[in-house]
């Protein structure tokens, strides 16, 4: 069972009144292509559960943008450090397409966790999911060459090439756009 399956199973196991509490503190919100969900130096006060669309997380480093994550439907989107510590974000999160997300305010979720221990368990499952994703991403960067990372991304998410500019994909893979072009031409 994957980490995402564990989260979904846990959510389904919650009593109806607790699921309603979670729905009560969340709103469905639409973002247009180019909108920012989080800006650098802002506090990340919301978590976003992607219902549709594509977004990316990136860092501004020495006059260039480094894409660190690409988010798709069913992904939990947030600036993890900023959200967890309620500190200024070091990264930006921007919609690459029109996006619809379930948005939950940090303070409201913290209140739910204090009132119902089941939501602390949910928070732990979400944190584990993020840690597993991060571990896989690091392993890929250290163990796969550029072609292997590209092939894995294509196999896992083939539609990305239709909606995400190649420069962002190259940055996400940790390679130059020229290297990505050479890999794609093979």
Question: Which residue carries 């993890």 as its tokens?
Answer: 80
153 vs 130: CA distance, rounded Å: 18
Q: What does the pLDDT look like over 58-84, one tens digit per residue?
A: 999 988 999 999 999 999 999 999 999
34 vs 25: CA distance, rounded Å: 26
Residue 85: CATH number of its domain: 2.60.120.10
Q: What is the mean pLDDT of residues 94-116?
A: 98
Specify the number of domains making up the chain.
1
Q: What does the pLDDT look like over 140-175, one tens digit per residue?
A: 999 999 999 999 999 999 888 889 999 999 999 999
Q: Is residue 14 part of a domain?
A: yes
Q: What does the pLDDT look like over 17-63, one tens digit per residue?
A: 999 999 999 999 999 999 999 999 999 999 999 999 999 999 999 88
Q: Is residue 176 part of a domain?
A: no
| Enclosing domain of residue 121 | 3-143
Q: Is residue 119 part of a domain?
A: yes
Helical H segments across 14-116, by residue range: 16-24, 80-85, 106-115
Q: Is residue 159 part of a domain?
A: no
Q: Is residue 167 part of a domain?
A: no
| Main-chain phi, psi angles of 99, to 5 degrees | -130, 140
79 within 8 A of 93, measured Cβ to Cβ: yes
Q: Is residue 172 part of a domain?
A: no
């Amino acid at each position: 069972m994957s980490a995402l399956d564990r989260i979904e199973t846990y959510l389904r196991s919650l009593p109806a009144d607790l699921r309603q509490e979670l729905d009560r503190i969340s709103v469905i919100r639409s973002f247009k292509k180019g909108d920012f969900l989080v800006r650098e130096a802002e506090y990340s006060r919301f978590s976003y559960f992607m219902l549709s669309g594509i977004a990316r997380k990136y860092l501004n480093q020495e006059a260039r943008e480094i894409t660190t994550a690409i988010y798709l439907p069913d992904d939990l989107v947030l600036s993890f450090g900023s959200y967890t510590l309620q500190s200024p974000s070091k990264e930006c999160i921007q919609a690459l397409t029109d996006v619809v997300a379930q948005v939950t305010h940090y303070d409201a979720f913290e209140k739910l966790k204090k009132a119902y221990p089941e939501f602390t368990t949910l928070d732990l499952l979400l944190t584990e999911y993020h840690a597993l994703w991060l571990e896989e991403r690091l392993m890929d960067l250290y163990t796969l060459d550029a072609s292997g990372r590209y092939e894995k991304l294509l196999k896992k998410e083939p539609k990305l090439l239709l909606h995400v500019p190649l420069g962002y994909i190259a940055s996400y893979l940790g390679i130059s756009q020229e290297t990505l072009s050479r890999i794609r031409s093979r």
